[in-house]
């Protein structure tokens, strides 16, 4: 019917949506809006798809900027892989430590698609590490998946995801100095006297 055609999304509508998304993007810190900063994988998927369909790299800078700040910030677990639920700060440095299956599944897909489009090996690595995290930590041995991993461990928020300088030195011994320099680890830490690696 004629009314359905009038209500259909046209390529022009989709471009207008993509442009509105770009205009509301936080170029200072990445993502959209203020803290808490939640990942928006479906928005990034839309921009990736729109870019491929329209053979344009007009949104590539936004997509890669957002993916980079999320994966290089504290929301991404550089030791065990996988993403925390959201960042509590604008800089993506301090996560809410809960890990959700649906967030990781959607982010995995987004990083995989970003790798397919850009061929940036960083996105392939993040996708592989996230697959491994889901397989190792969120898959039930009898089948199915766990829906989330709690933010608290042994009654303490983020205990399994943060490190003290002494713990780093105890584990890494002679390699600790290099690791401390690479990750900016200090005795003060970057969160409550401990360090969220990023």
- Would you say 83 and 185 are in contact if contact means Cβ atoms under 8 Å apart? no
CA distance 189 to 198: 12
Please give the average per-residue pLDDT across 116-129, as a whole number. 98
Q: Is residue 90 part of a domain?
A: yes
Read off the pLDDT of residues 27-76 as tens digits, 9 standing for 90 and up: 999 999 999 999 999 999 999 999 999 999 999 999 999 999 999 999 99
Residues 126 and 193 in one domain: no
Residues 141 and 181 in one domain: no
Domain count, the chain: 2
Q: Is residue 12 part of a domain?
A: yes
Whether pLDDT at 17 is above 80: yes
CA distance 24 to 198: 26
Residues 55 and 103 in one domain: yes
Residues 187 and 132 in one domain: no
CA distance 187 to 184: 10
Residues 12 and 89 in one domain: yes
- Would you say 152 and 144 are in contact if contact means Cβ atoms under 8 Å apart? no
55-87 per-residue burial string, b: 16 or more CB within 10 A, e: under 16: eeeebeebbbbbbbbbbbbbbbbeeebbbbbbb
Please, what is the average pLDDT of the chain? 95
Q: Which domain holds residue 186?
A: 164-198
Residues 180 and 108 in one domain: no
Structure tokens at 164: 């003290």
Q: Is residue 196 part of a domain?
A: yes
Residues 129 and 197 in one domain: no
At 41, which CATH number? 1.50.10.20
User: How much is the pTM?
Assistant: 0.92
Residues 95 and 175 in one domain: no
Residues 32 and 110 in one domain: yes
Residues 45 and 116 in one domain: yes
């Amino acid at each position: 019917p004629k009314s359905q055609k009038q209500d259909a999304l046209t390529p022009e509508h989709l471009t207008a949506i993509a442009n509105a998304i770009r205009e509301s993007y936080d170029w200072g810190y990445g993502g959209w809006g203020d803290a808490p900063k939640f990942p928006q994988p479906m928005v990034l998927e839309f921009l990736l798809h729109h870019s491929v369909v329209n053979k344009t790299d007009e949104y590539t800078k936004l997509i890669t900027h957002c993916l980079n700040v999320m994966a290089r910030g504290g929301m991404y677990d550089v030791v065990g892989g996988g993403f925390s639920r959201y960042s509590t700060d604008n800089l993506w440095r301090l996560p809410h430590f809960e890990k959700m299956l649906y967030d990781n599944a959607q982010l995995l897909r987004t990083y995989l698609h970003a790798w397919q489009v850009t061929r940036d090996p960083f996105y392939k690595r993040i996708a592989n590490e996230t697959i491994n995290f889901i397989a190792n930590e969120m898959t039930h041995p009898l089948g199915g998946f766990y829906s989330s991993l709690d933010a608290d461990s042994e009654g303490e928020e983020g205990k399994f995801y943060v490190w003290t300088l002494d713990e780093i030195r105890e584990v890494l011994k002679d390699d600790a100095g290099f690791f401390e320099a690479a990750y900016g680890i200090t005795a003060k830490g970057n969160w409550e006297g401990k360090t969220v690696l990023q």
